[in-house]
Structures are given as C-alpha cells and as structure tokens.
C-alpha cells in the first residue's frame, strides 16, 4: 500500500495573480521542512500538493507533523493511493483504515469525484464503499450526520485517494507572499512570536539583533542564533544581522539626557534597523512590543520611536498579554530558549528614573543636543559592521 501526504491549499488559491509564485514558495517550504526525513517527491495537481515517499525508509509520519506547521496549507491528510478501479478501492479502504474502523461504532463514506470519466457518481461510490466496509465490520453503523470516522474517497487525476477526515493545517499565507519585514529580535519571549505572527500573513523575515559586548555576552549572542534556528521552521531561511551597538549606546549614555536614555537608544535601534531593511529589501520593521508591558512601550514612547523612521512598524503582539504571547512561544518551541537568563543590551545603562511619558518634542530636542552628525555616523558604521557579520540561518 502506498501512503502519501496531501496538502490542500488555503487562502492563496484565491489570489489569482500571484498564484504561481505562491505555489513555488510553498513547494520550497515543504521541501525544506522535510529534507531530513528521507526521500520525497513533492508535486502539485488540482490545488493540492502531494508528498510521496520514494522508498520505505522515508518517514511519512514525521513529514506529516512537519507540514502541519507550514503556512499557506489549509488542511492536510495522510492517504493511501490506489488505481481508479472500484473493486480495488473497495478492497483497500477497509484494510487501510482497519484499526480506526475496528475501534469505531459509527462511520460514513464521503466520496468526491473530480475525474468525471470515472463511471460511478460520488453518491454511488459512497454507498457501495460503505456497503463493502459494513461487510467487513458488521458492528459498525452508518451515521451521516455525526460519524466517529469519515472515510474519504477522492477520485482524482492520478489515482484514487483514501483517507480519514482532513486535519487543519497551519492556515495563513505562504512565506514571501507578502513581502519582507525586518524583525528586531531580542533574546526575549515576544519578538520570536512576532516573527511567527507576520510569517503567518506571508512575510519573509530578516532579523536584526543588537549586541553590546562586553556588556552582553557570547552566550546571549548564541541564544539569539538558536531562536532564529527555531523560528525558521515557520519563516523559512533568514538573514540575521548582529549589530555591534556598544559605541552608539556609550555615546548616548555620555551625551544624552539620562531620563530619556531608553527612548533615545530605541530611536537609534529603529534607524539602524531601517537602514539594514532598506539595503536588504524589507519594507517594514517588526517588533515584539506589547502596549504598556514596560516603560518603553507606553503610547508616548511608541509615538517617539515611530517618529524616528519612515517605514511602517508592525507590532503583531501589541494587544496581547504575556500569557497569550507565552502560549504561542510554547507552541512554536521558542519559550525555553527565550527564558535563558542572559542580559540584553536594552537593560544596560538604563537610568534609575526613566521618563515614561516623554513628549516627542523633548525627545527630538534631546537628540539634537547630542550632536546628530556624530550620532548618525556611529549608527551608520554600526550598520556597516552588522552587514559584515551577516549570518544565514537555515
Ligand atoms: P522581548 O520579549 O521580545 O525581548 P521585551 O518584553 O523584553 O520584549 P523590550 O526589551 O522593551 O521588551 O523590547 C521590545 C522590543 O524591542 C522587542 O520585542 C524587540 O522587538 C526589540 N528589541 C529589544 N531588545 C532588542 C535587541 N537587543 N535587539 C533587537 N531588538 C530588540
Ligand atoms: Mg527584551
């Protein structure tokens, strides 16, 4: 019996114009996610991707779990394929689903014939396969409204596919179908979740992390790389830029208004991120900010940071509270890494009494008084250094 995986396409099927690009993206994501699980053939027909093992060593169950996480796939099923011959289907269906049918009390057959040259109609197939199953499992009862098991039979171009009810896929849109975003990735819980949320809407991601050695350690840097390695399961390959931020931070500490240190530093981070985003084709900045979570995430602080750049800033977790964000972090397996207790550059040099409601005017004034020319020069050279340190995470 030849088992394979069927991935049914979601929202993207509606996007007529870019359909072929989306599908190419999706095929790439699928291949990438299952590449360590054996040899598979991946191909598309009739709005469905088929993933077919090429030998018996390929891990179909493992691949099935992986593809459930790929954005752009609405539903998935594990199926057995036979030739398009009624007797063959009637023979195989009860054998393939033996264990499930054995344990059930009620079932129904739902047939779908997209190959209209098949001599029987959908209703007739359902009825006759139902009868064949009942002959083998006389304890079963047919329940068309609320069956414990639905046996699906799809008569398609390449064969007849038999499987249980479809399972939901990850939904969303395929990665890269909505442009690219530059994620500001700290080592915390929120920003990896922000990456996941935007990837769900089809953004590909590049990540920018600010490090301030020697105040931040090599372990903190390694932690961010590990987070990227986890997130790429959802986002696809990404570039990670680690910005050496020490000089800029020291400049702000030595020349800025102490109560505004955090906000001035965040404006610098935004400008450097926008600079890298422009150079690498990203059209938006993404952060893991959640309104009111900390002093730098009040409405006035956000107003002051937004004003430092022209790009739109996406904050997909802005309205979520920590438990909701944490639930997603656990689901995407970043939580345990995020809670490792290494220092972040944002927590060094912070003043004892930061202003929580700075006005944009006073922030802009404080920035000017630092000497904009020198500040921007340091920011530019930090961005250039970060480019040299680019890491491609797969
Ligand atoms: P997170 O859990 O994502 O670290 P947080 O609750 O610690 O967030 P902040 O430290 O105020 O909050 O950071 C808010 C956002 O700023 C982060 O979600 C991230 O997008 C960005 N950010 C913070 N620190 C860094 C950093 N070192 N490098 C890049 N981006 C950062
Ligand atoms: Mg943080």
110-115 long-range contacts (CB < 8 A, ≥24 apart) are: 110/150, 110/151, 110/152, 110/153, 111/152, 111/153, 111/154, 111/155, 112/152, 112/153, 112/154, 112/155, 113/155, 114/46, 114/154, 114/155, 114/156, 114/157, 115/84, 115/155, 115/156, 115/157
Q: In this structure, are residues 259 and 59 in contact, taking their beta carbons and an 8 Å threshold?
A: no
Lowest-pLDDT choice from 90-99, 157-166, 290-299: 290-299
| pLDDT per position as a tens digit, 220-232 | 999 999 999 999 9
Whether 124 shows a pLDDT value over 80: the answer reads yes
Q: State whether the beta carbon of 140 lies less than 6 angstroms from ligand 1.
A: no
CA of 94 to the centre of ligand 2 (A): 54
Higher pLDDT, 125 or 174: 125
Q: Which of 187, 188, 271, 287 to mutate to test the pocket of ligand 1 (most atoms within 8 A of CB)?
A: 188
For residue 192, give the ligand 1 atom closest to its CA.
3
> Nearest ligand, CA of residue 191?
1
* Cβ-contact 79, 5 below 8 angstroms: yes
CB crowding 338-376: b at 16 or more within 10 Å, else e: beeeeebbbebbeeeebbbebeeeebeebbeebeeeebe
Q: Are 218 and 342 in contact (CB under 8 A)?
A: no
Q: How far is the CA of 347 from the centre of ligand 2 (A)?
A: 8
pLDDT, greater one: 374 or 16: 374
Q: What is the dihedral of CA 340, 217, 192, 199, to 10 degrees?
A: -150
Strands 149-155 and 167-171, bridge-based pairing:
unpaired
Average pLDDT estimate for 138-164: 96
> pLDDT over 90 for what percent of the chain?
81
Mutation choice for ligand 1 from 181, 183, 185, 186, CB with most ligand atoms inside 8 A: 186
Q: Give the three-state DSSP class for 162.
A: strand
| The predicted structure's pLDDT at residue 110 | 97
Which ligand has its closest atom nearest to the C-alpha of 288? 1
């Amino acid at each position: 019996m030849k088992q394979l995986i069927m991935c049914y396409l979601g929202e993207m099927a509606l996007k007529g114009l870019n359909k072929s690009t989306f599908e190419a993206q999706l095929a790439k994501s699928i291949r990438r996610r299952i590449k360590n699980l054996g040899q598979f053939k991946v191909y598309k027909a009739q709005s469905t991707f088929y993933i077919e093992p090429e030998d018996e060593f390929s891990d179909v169950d493992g691949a099935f779990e992986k593809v459930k996480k790929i954005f752009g796939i609405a539903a998935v099923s594990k199926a057995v394929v036979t030739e398009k011959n009624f007797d063959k289907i009637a023979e195989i269906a009860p054998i393939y689903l033996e264990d499930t049918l054995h344990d059930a009390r009620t079932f129904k057959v739902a047939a779908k014939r997209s190959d209209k040259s098949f001599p029987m109609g959908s209703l007739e197939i359902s009825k006759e396969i139902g009868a064949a199953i009942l002959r083998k499992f006389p304890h079963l009862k047919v329940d068309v409204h609320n069956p414990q098991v639905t046996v699906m039979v799809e008569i398609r171009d390449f064969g007849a596919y038999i499987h249980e009810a479809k399972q939901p896929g990850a939904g969303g849109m395929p990665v890269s179908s909505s442009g690219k975003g530059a994620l500001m990735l700290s080592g915390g819980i929120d920003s990896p979740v922000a990456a996941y949320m935007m990837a769900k809407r089809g953004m590909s991601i590049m990540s920018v992390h600010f490090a301030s050695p020697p105040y931040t350690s090599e372990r903190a840097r390694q932690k961010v790389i590990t987070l990227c390695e986890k997130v790429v399961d959802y986002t696809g390959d990404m570039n990670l830029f680690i910005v050496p931020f020490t000089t800029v931070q020291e400049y702000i500490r030595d020349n800025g208004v102490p109560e505004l240190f955090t906000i001035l530093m965040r404006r610098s981070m935004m400008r450097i991120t926008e600079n890298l985003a422009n150079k690498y084709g990203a059209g938006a900045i993404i952060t893991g900010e959640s309104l009111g979570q900390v002093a730098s995430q009040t409405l006035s602080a956000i107003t002051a940071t937004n004003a430092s750049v022209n790009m739109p800033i996406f904050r997909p977790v802005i309205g979520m509270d920590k438990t909701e964000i944490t639930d997603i972090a656990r689901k995407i397996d970043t939580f345990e890494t995020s809670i490792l207790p290494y220092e972040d550059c944002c927590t060094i040099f912070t003043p004892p009494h930061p202003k929580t409601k700075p006005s944009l005017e006073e922030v802009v004034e404080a920035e000017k008084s630092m000497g904009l020319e020198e500040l921007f020069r340091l920011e530019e050279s930090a961005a250039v250094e970060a480019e040299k340190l680019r890491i491609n995470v797969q």
